[in-house]
Structure 1
Amino acid sequence: MLSPGVAGLTINMQTSEADKRSRILDGAVKVFLAYGYQRTTMDDIARAAGMSRPALYLQFRNKTDIYRAIATMMLDLSAEVAQAALGGPGDLSDRLIAAIDDCMFAMVEKFAGSPHGADILDMKGSLAGDIVASWTERLGGMIAREIEKEAVRLGTDLKARDLGPGMLASLLLDGLEGIKMRIEDPAEQRRSVRGLVRVVSLALQP
C-alpha cells in the first residue's frame, strides 16, 4: 500500500503528464489549422505547446499519434454531448436533431474559419478511421436505444414492419453521411437533417 506521501506524488505526476498532453493537443490543433497537417512539423507543435522537441517526443511518437489523440478527444466529447442531448427534454425528433446539431455540426463549425479546417476533418478517415468507426458505433448505439424506447412507448412493433432500432439508427447515420457529402451549405444540411429525422419518426408511428 502506498504511503500518503507517495500517493500524493503519484497523483501530482499523473496530473503533470495530463497537463503536458493537454498543452500539446491544444497547440497541435492551432498549428494544424494555421499551416495544415502536411506542413506542420513536430518543431511547430513543440513551440506551440511551449516545450522542447525532446519533451514532446516523450509524450507522442509522431504527428500521426498527435492527430489520433486529438480525434479521440474530440469524438469522445462529441459522444458525451450527443448523449446529453438525447437524454434532454422534448420528443424524440427534437432530441435527435439536437444531438446531431450539437455533436456533428458544432464540431465542424469549430474548424470552418480556417482555410485548412476541411482538410483536417477529411483526414480523419485515413489517419483515425478506427477511432471514427468506434465513435459511429457508439453513437449508433445511443440512437438505437432511444428509438427502441420510443417504439415501446408508442406500442409500435418494428419487427412486424421488418425494421429494428439498430437498422433505423444506421439508416439515420448513413443518411447524415450522404447529406454531408452532397450538400455544402450548412443551413441546407440542417434542413435535410430535419427531413431525415422526420422519416425515422414516421417509421415509429403506430
Structure 2
Amino acid sequence: MGLKPADRLSQVLDATYICLTLHGVRRTTMDDIARQAGMSRSAVYQYVRNKDDAFRRLTERLHDDALVRARAAASAGGPPADRVRGVLGAKLDLVGQLMGASPHGAELLDAKARLFADVCAGFVTELKALLAGVFAEAGVVSTVTPDQAADICIALVMGLEARPDGAVLLQPAADALISGLLAAR
C-alpha cells in the first residue's frame, strides 16, 4: 500500500529541508528536491507548485510546529514565569533548529524575505498575543501594559537568538526580565 498524499507532501518537505541545509534556498533546484525525496521531478510537482512553494510550505510547517509548542506553554497550568519562558523557548528552539542545521537555515527566518515575510511576521504576532495573554492574566507592573511586556520579551529572545549561548541564557535572562514585569502578588 502506497503513502497517502499528506505523507508524500511531508516526504517532499523533509527533502526540501535537507536541500536547504546543503544548498540554501537560491541554489536548491527541483531536481535536488526530487532526488532527495526519492521521487521523480514530475511526482514532486503533484505536491508542490514549484521550489518557492516547497520552501514556503516548509517554512509554514516549521513555524506551525513551534506555535503548537508555544500555545501549549502559554496555556499550561503553571506559574506565569514558566509559561512565558515556554513561549520564548519555542521561538528560540525554532531558531536553534534552523541555525544549528546549517548557515542556510536563517533564510527561513528572514522577516524581509519575499517568500516568507508574512509567515515570520504572523509567527511573531501570534507569540506576542500569547505572551500578552499570559501577562494580562498574571498582571504586570503599572509602568507597562501586557502588550508592552510581550514586546519586551520578544526583543529579549531576538537578542538571544544572535548569541551562540542563547539557549543557556534564556532562563536567567527571562527570569530577571519577568520578575521586573510581573506585578507583585
**Under a length normalisation based on structure 1, what TM-score does the superposition of the two structures give?**
0.76
Using a 3 Å threshold, how does the CA distance of structure 1 residues 141 and 21 change in structure 2: closer, same or farther?
Answer: same
Q: Which residue of 2 aligns with 1:40?
A: 28
Using a 3 Å threshold, how does the CA distance of structure 1 residues 17 and 65 change in structure 2: closer, same or farther?
Answer: same
Larger Rg: 1
Question: Is the contact between residue 180 and residue 189 of structure 1 (CA under 8 Å) also seen in structure 2?
Answer: no
Give aligned-pair identity as a percent.
26
Query: Given the alignment of the two structures, is residue 21 of structure 1 paired with residue 2 of structure 2, yes or no?
Result: no
Unaligned runs of 5+ in 2: none
Q: Which residue of 1 aligns with 2:85?
A: 97
d(CA) in 2 for partners of 1:133, 1:35: 25
Report the 3-state secondary structure (helix = DSSP H, G, I; strand = E; otherwise coil) of the residue aligned with 1:177: helix
Q: Which residue of 2 aligns with 1:173?
A: 154
Q: Which residue of 2 aligns with 1:4?
A: none
d(CA) in 1 for partners of 2:21, 2:134: 36
Report the 3-state secondary structure (helix = DSSP H, G, I; strand = E; otherwise coil) of the residue aligned with 1:77: helix
Q: Which residue of 1 aligns with 2:184?
A: 205
Q: Which residue of 1 aligns with 2:62?
A: 74
Q: Which residue of 1 aligns with 2:48?
A: 60
d(CA) in 2 for partners of 1:124, 1:70: 15
CA displacement 1:82-136 (0-9 Å, x = unmatched): 11112224311122112222x1232233234434354444546413010111111
More off after superposition, 39-48 vs 104-113: 104-113
Q: Which residue of 2 aligns with 1:106?
A: 93
Q: Which residue of 2 aligns with 1:164?
A: 145
More off after superposition, 33-42 vs 192-201: 192-201
Distance apart, 1:162 and its partner CA: 5.3
Question: Is the contact between residue 12 and residue 33 of structure 2 (CA under 8 Å) also seen in structure 1?
Answer: yes
RMSD over equivalenced CA pairs, Å: 2.7
Distance apart, 1:81 and its partner CA: 0.5
Using a 3 Å threshold, how does the CA distance of structure 1 residues 167 and 87 change in structure 2: closer, same or farther?
Answer: same
Q: Which residue of 2 aligns with 1:147?
A: 135
Using a 3 Å threshold, how does the CA distance of structure 1 residues 38 and 50 change in structure 2: closer, same or farther?
Answer: same
Counterpart code for 1:139: L
Using a 3 Å threshold, how does the CA distance of structure 1 residues 173 and 119 change in structure 2: closer, same or farther?
Answer: closer
**Under a length normalisation based on structure 2, what TM-score does the superposition of the two structures give?**
0.83
CA displacement 1:165-191 (0-9 Å, x = unmatched): 22221222133223334x342324554
d(CA) in 2 for partners of 1:53, 1:167: 48
Using a 3 Å threshold, how does the CA distance of structure 1 residues 115 and 149 change in structure 2: closer, same or farther?
Answer: closer
Using a 3 Å threshold, how does the CA distance of structure 1 residues 109 and 165 change in structure 2: closer, same or farther?
Answer: same
Aligned length: 183
Query: Given the alignment of the two structures, is residue 185 of structure 1 paired with residue 165 of structure 2, yes or no?
Result: yes
